[in-house]
Structure formats: C-alpha cells, structure tokens
Structure 1
Amino acid sequence: MTEFLQPAVEGFFLGASLIVAIGAQNAFVLRQGLARSHVFPIATFCFLADAMLIAAGVGGLGALVQGAPRVLFVVTLAGAAFLFVYGAMALRRAFHAEALSASGAAEMRLGPALATVAALTFLNPHVYLDTVVLLGSLSGRHAGTARLAFGAGAMVASCVWFYALGYGARLLAPVFARPVAWRILDVAIGVVMFSIAASLVVSRS
C-alpha cells in the first residue's frame, strides 16, 4: 500500500504546485465562479483536460513533445495572440460600466464559455510543459503501478483545485457585489493575460 500511496501523494503535491497559480485558465474559472455561471461544466472541462494531458505525459508523450519544437512554436504564437485579445476584452469590460456586474459575466452562453476555456487551456504552451513534459518526466522516477499512482495523484489535485476555485469563488460574492471589485478583477485579468502573452513571445524570440 505504501509503495502506491507515496507516489500518489507526491503526484498530488507536485500537480497542485503547478496548477495553483495565477494564470489565464484560473482567472477565467474564478470569474465564472463569481458570476455563478456554468461553473460545473467549466470546472469539469478543466479537470478532464488536465487529466488527459497528465495521462499523456505519464504515458510517454512528453518526450515526443520535446522533440517537436516547430509545433511548440506555432502553439506559442497562437496562444500569445489569443491571450492578448482576451486581455484586451477584460480591460474593455473594466472600463465599460454596463459590464461591471456579475450579471454581465453570466450573460455568456455555455457554448462560448466552453470555447473560451478550451482556447485558454490548449493554446497555452505552459499547459503542455507543466502537465505533459514536466509531470511526465517526473513520473519516470516510478515504474509500473507506482507511476500510474503518481499520475492519479496529480489528476486528483487538478480535480480538487478547479471545483474548489469555481464553487469557492461564491464566498467572495459580498465583495464583488460592488462594481469597483469587478473593475479591479477585470483589470487584474487583463494584466495577467498581457503578461503571459508577452512572456510567451519573449521566450520564442
């Protein structure tokens, strides 16, 4: 039992250390959670996407990704462009009074919401580097079922985090009852998006 528990715990904490960070995906989940809009499908999508990528990394796809620099280059530029546009949209929301409310965020239909979170997930090269490459490489320290336990632990961390972020955001509802709080959040999201986009471009220059 210990030989499976130890790698699972290791995978959980390593996965959490990579997932629990300020990023485009987390910012979107937080905003939708505050608006109580499509929280379950969005959190579920994020968890399943992470689980799929972690499984691919543990299964050995990480080595293939590292050997395809052109693919990473294209994904990086596409991700940077999308993050820049989304950041501009967040800043536009912040400076237009009609969007400074939870109802404004709730107006996004499920289809566009899922399309947005899919783009924020799969157009971000850091997602592949963290899940497929890094976690995949670290899982190589284990063999057989212990390696699977490591991957499962990382998946559990992703599951706990996204549902906690989405549903826990409502605890901040009293704070975000004020329009100024939404303004600050959207400005912060815009800055985060621009920062990530810039770092992606710089890393490829």
Structure 2
Amino acid sequence: MLPSFLAGLGLGLTLIIAIGAQNLFVLRQGLRREHVFAVAAVCAASDAALIALGVSGLGLALTALPWLVEVIRWAGALFLLGYGLLAARRAIRPSGHALAPSPETEPAPGSAGRAGTAVRSRLAPVLLTCLALTWLNPHVYLDTVFFLGLVASGHGEARWVFAAGAMLGSILWFFGLAFGARYLSRWLATPRAWRILDAIIAVVMIALAVSLVLVP
C-alpha cells in the first residue's frame, strides 16, 4: 500500500508542479494575501475531483467524446486570452489594487505606504476565475484524469491508495504555493515589480491560449 501511495504522491506532484495558468493565479493571490485559503482549497478540491474521476475509470469516456475536449479547448483558449490581456493592461497601466496586498492583511515590507489604498477583490469573482482556470484547461483532463487514471489502474486494488497520494500532492502543492508566496513579497514591494509580474503572467497566459488553438 505504501509504495502505491508514494507513487501517487510523486506522480501527482510531477504533473502539477509546472508554470501554468492555475499556478500563476494561485501565486498572485498568495502574493496579494487575498482569499488565500479559499483559492488553495478550491484548487485542491478540484484536483481531487479530477483524480477521482480518472481513477474511477470515467476518464476513458474522454476518448469517446472528442467533441467535448474540443469545446473545452476553445473555451479555455478564449478565457486564457482574456485573462492574459487583463494582466497586460495591469502591467501597462497599473492600478492601486494591483500593486498592494489586501488592506485586511499585514503589508509586505516596504509597502506600508501603499497597503492602505488597496482594494480587496470580492471572493466570488476570484473563485470563479480559479475554477475556470482549472476546469477549462483541456490538459488537465488529459494529464490528471486520463493519464493519472491510467497509471492508477496498474495498481489494481491499491488504485485508490495511489489516488490518495496524488490528492495529498495537490493539497501540499497548492497550500504551500499559496501561503508560501507571501515570503516573496519583500521582492515585490514596488509598483515596478508588480508590473513585471503581471507582464510575465500576461505572456504565459496568452502563450497558453495560442498553444491550445495551434496544438490540438
């Protein structure tokens, strides 16, 4: 049982630790110290649901519904493009709420003068964005649902132990990324640093959107 658990933990972390739309969003929320627990919890819960779908065998249904993957691919590309353009606009014309942590949290070192003017984003739009970045990504179905489910099937009766390991990997990663991001705030205490971060986010999001369209 333990080898299956460790195998699931290792594969889960391998699949999830990569620069992508979801991870960049979690990182940005962690840096802003805004709805951090809720964002990490939604990401971890979504991953757990996707892993469960794959291990239960429902991931194989994707091969019989190619049109569904195609719909998700185009919807995801449009969403990533829109989010990337918003990040680009923040990089070019930053606003107060994009440059400082939430006023309800401790300001980052060197940012005391700006934290008082920050505007806290509402929880619902943040969580909807988080869900969209997760569930509108076609790669998550191919990697987490289909591939991970396929590997889990090789563990026979221990496949759910394998799944538990993969789920733990998601929990450790998302909560570690979200709450660990605050330790990077000392390097992001200036408007220039936030503009650079938003520029990086814009490039990655738009590149991902283009890749979804050009690479089936």
In the alignment, does 2:71 pair up with 1:59? no
Hey, what's the Cα distance between the residues in 2 that align with 1:185 and 1:106?
18
Structure 1 residues 128-154: Cα deviation after superposition (integer angstroms, max 9, x where no partner): 11110110011111111x111110100
* One-letter code aligned to 2:180: G
Q: 1:52 to 1:20 in 2, by over 3 A?
A: same
Hey, what's the Cα distance between the residues in 1 that align with 2:94 and 2:61?
48
CA contact (8 A) 1:94 1:182 kept: yes
The structural deviation recorded for 1:98 is 2.0
Q: Which residue pairs with 1:152 in the alignment?
A: 164
Q: Which residue pairs with 2:115 in the alignment?
A: none
Of 159, 175, 178, 1:163 maps to 175
Hey, what's the Cα distance between the residues in 1 that align with 2:168 and 2:119?
28
Hey, what's the Cα distance between the residues in 1 that align with 2:147 and 2:39?
24
Q: Which moved more, 1:46-55 or 1:57-66?
A: 57-66
In the alignment, does 2:113 pair up with 1:101? no
The structural deviation recorded for 1:106 is 5.6
* One-letter code aligned to 1:178: T
CA contact (8 A) 1:29 1:42 kept: yes
TM-score (normalised: structure 2): 0.90
* One-letter code aligned to 1:143: G
Q: Which has the larger share of helix?
A: 1
TM-score (normalised: structure 1): 0.94
Q: Which residue pairs with 1:12 in the alignment?
A: 9
* One-letter code aligned to 2:86: M
Identity within the alignment, %? 51
Of 54, 75, 79, 1:82 maps to 79
Q: Secondary structure at the match of 2:154?
A: coil
Q: Which residue pairs with 2:105 in the alignment?
A: none
Of 177, 186, 199, 1:174 maps to 186
* One-letter code aligned to 1:82: F
What is the root-mean-square deviation of aligned Cα atoms in Å?
1.3
Of 179, 188, 203, 1:191 maps to 203
